[in-house]
Structure formats: structure tokens, C-alpha cells
């Protein structure tokens, strides 16, 4: 791996390769979802506990101060919406040139394995990896499931993560599931875990983070379970202590307001 690629990855995963990324890219297909109507306001109190942001170029240009000293992962896929016929119908909408111009530390692209757009999204991933290798830009593959949340089992996610790694992605973002070790152990590149829709309780999200780390994940790329929480700062601090300090859920929960 060349220096530029290594440097970008090490900025995204400090502290021995661990990562607390804050995902705020949801608007690219969900529009202004609850608590992310004003991204700048949402992230302001959270930024100091974040290793990197995941977002689109539109939010970056319009809502983020260019003086910010924080790496970011640029979502470069889209073309779908929650109102459309198929969430899997994504292609590359932001060029590698844009990613370089904006000083991204990685580009992120969703793959939809097992859907009618499997070939389209995997081909786009391959193309991005080719361009990323040329310019020293890491590619994060996101194993998306669209509306079919029940697809999140170890067999399916292992398939998706392994394919993403085989096609050359430098890291993969996926969902936690039972037997998550199987997913991590069969994927030769670092895995970070998405939170998914808001869970029933904050403790559920902390358990998800801890179980992911115990199974070998490098960290989280979490959104709704942090910023849709009534105690968003407490949540990100608690998640951070699990990822970076190896805290137990019980210890981490002390950082919540009602801990």
C-alpha cells in the first residue's frame, strides 16, 4: 500500500486502528430525516468525540466549516431514494476528482449483493477501487440491505463483506449480527459496524458496539443511534469509551445522563 493510502487510513483509524465515525450521509436517499434536518447543528456537540465524519459533498460544502481538522469519508454513491422503486439502484454520482478536490480521506460506496442491481453496484465498486489505487484514495464498501433489514445474518453479510474485500475495498462497513465473528474472520480487511435504525434503548446500542468490538470489528460508523438519541453526547462518549478504551457496557453507561 502506498504512503498516501496508508496515511489516509491511519487518520481515519487512529489509536491502533480503532474508529468512531459519525455517519450523517442519510439524506442522500432519505432526505431530511429526524434530528438531521440541520446537519451542522446536529454534529456541533458531537464533533469533539468523533474520529471522522461520513457525509456527502452537498452537506460537506454547505454545512461544514472548511477549517475543521477532521478526516471525512465521502459518500460517492446515490441515484436512489426512499420514494423510488428500488433502493438498490445506486451508481457513482461523485467523481474521484471531486473527492480529491474536497480532500476526502476515503470514498464510500454501497453494494447490494443478491439484488437486481448486484452487478451494477459491484462493477461500480471495482471501478472506484481502480481509481482509488491510482490516486491513493481508500474505498469503504457499505454492505447495504435497503428496506430488507431481516437480511442481516452472518451468512449473507459474510458473503457481502468477502466480495467487497475481494473486489479491493480497503475497508467494509456492515451490520452486526449473531455469529459476527464469522463475518469478521472471513473478511481480510477492517470492518466497521453501522448502527441501523434507532434501537429500543441506548443500552441496546452500547451492547451492539461492545459485541461488535469483541467479535473483531475495528469500530463503528454510527448515525441514528447517536444523533437521534435524547442524550446524543452521552451516547457518543459511551460508544467511544467502548471502542477506544475497551470499556464494558456497564462502565460506558455511566457516561449517559441516566447512567
Please identify every residue annotated as catalytic.
Answer: 173
Check residue 76 for interaction with ligand R5P (CB under 6 A): no
Member of 46, 125, 222, 256 binding ligand R5P (CB under 6 A): 222
Member of 195, 202, 219, 234 binding ligand R5P (CB under 6 A): 195
Sign of CA pseudo-dihedral 195, 191, 176, 120: positive
Check residue 26 for interaction with ligand R5P (CB under 6 A): yes
Check residue 142 for interaction with ligand R5P (CB under 6 A): yes
Member of 71, 132, 146, 223 binding ligand R5P (CB under 6 A): 223
Member of 12, 13, 19, 23 binding ligand R5P (CB under 6 A): 23
Check residue 78 for interaction with ligand R5P (CB under 6 A): no
Check residue 90 for interaction with ligand R5P (CB under 6 A): no
Q: Alpha-carbon distance 243 to 163, whole Å? A: 26
Q: Alpha-carbon distance 137 to 91, whole Å? A: 18
Q: Alpha-carbon distance 237 to 255, whole Å? A: 7
Angle at 11 between CA 90 and CA 214, to 5 degrees: 80
Q: Alpha-carbon distance 60 to 148, whole Å? A: 29
Check residue 196 for interaction with ligand R5P (CB under 6 A): yes
Taking the CB of residue 90, how many other CB atoms lie within 10 A of it? 26
Which positions touch ligand R5P (CB under 6 A)?
Answer: 23, 25-26, 54, 142, 194-196, 221-225
Amino acid at each position: 500500500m502506498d504512503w498516501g493510502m496508508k496515511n489516509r487510513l491511519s487518520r481515519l483509524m487512529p489509536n491502533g486502528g480503532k474508529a468512531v465515525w459519525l455517519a450523517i450521509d442519510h439524506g442522500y436517499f432519505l432526505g431530511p430525516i429526524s434530528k438531521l434536518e440541520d446537519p451542522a447543528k446536529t454534529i456541533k456537540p458531537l464533533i469533539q468525540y468523533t474520529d471522522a465524519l461520513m457525509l456527502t459533498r452537498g452537506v460537506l460544502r454547505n454545512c461544514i466549516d472548511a477549517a475543521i481538522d477532521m478526516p471525512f469519508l465521502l459518500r460517492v454513491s446515490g441515484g436512489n431514494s426512499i420514494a423510488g422503486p428500488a433502493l438498490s439502484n445506486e451508481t457513482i454520482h461523485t467523481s474521484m476528482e471531486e473527492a480529491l478536490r474536497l480532500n476526502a480521506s476515503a470514498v464510500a460506496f454501497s453494494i447490494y449483493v443478491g439484488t437486481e442491481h448486484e452487478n451494477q453496484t459491484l462493477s461500480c465498486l471495482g471501478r472506484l477501487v481502480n481509481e482509488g489505487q491510482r490516486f491513493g484514495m481508500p474505498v469503504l464498501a457499505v454492505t447495504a440491505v435497503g428496506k430488507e433489514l431481516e437480511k442481516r445474518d452472518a451468512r449473507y453479510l459474510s458473503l457481502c463483506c468477502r466480495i467487497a474485500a475481494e473486489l479491493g475495498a480497503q475497508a467494509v462497513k456492515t451490520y452486526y449480527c449473531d455469529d459476527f465473528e464469522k463475518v469478521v474472520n472471513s473478511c481480510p480487511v477492517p470492518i466497521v459496524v453501522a448502527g441501523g435504525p434507532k434501537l429500543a434503548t441506548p443500552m441496546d446500542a452500547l451492547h451492539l458496539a461492545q459485541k461488535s468490538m469483541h467479535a473483531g470489528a475495528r469500530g463503528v460508523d454510527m448515525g441514528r443511534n447517536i444523533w437521534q438519541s435524547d442524550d446524543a453526547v452521552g451516547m457518543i462518549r459511551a460508544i467511544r469509551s467502548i471502542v477506544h478504551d475497551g470499556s464494558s457496557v456497564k462502565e460506558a453507561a455511566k457516561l449517559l445522563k441516566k447512567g
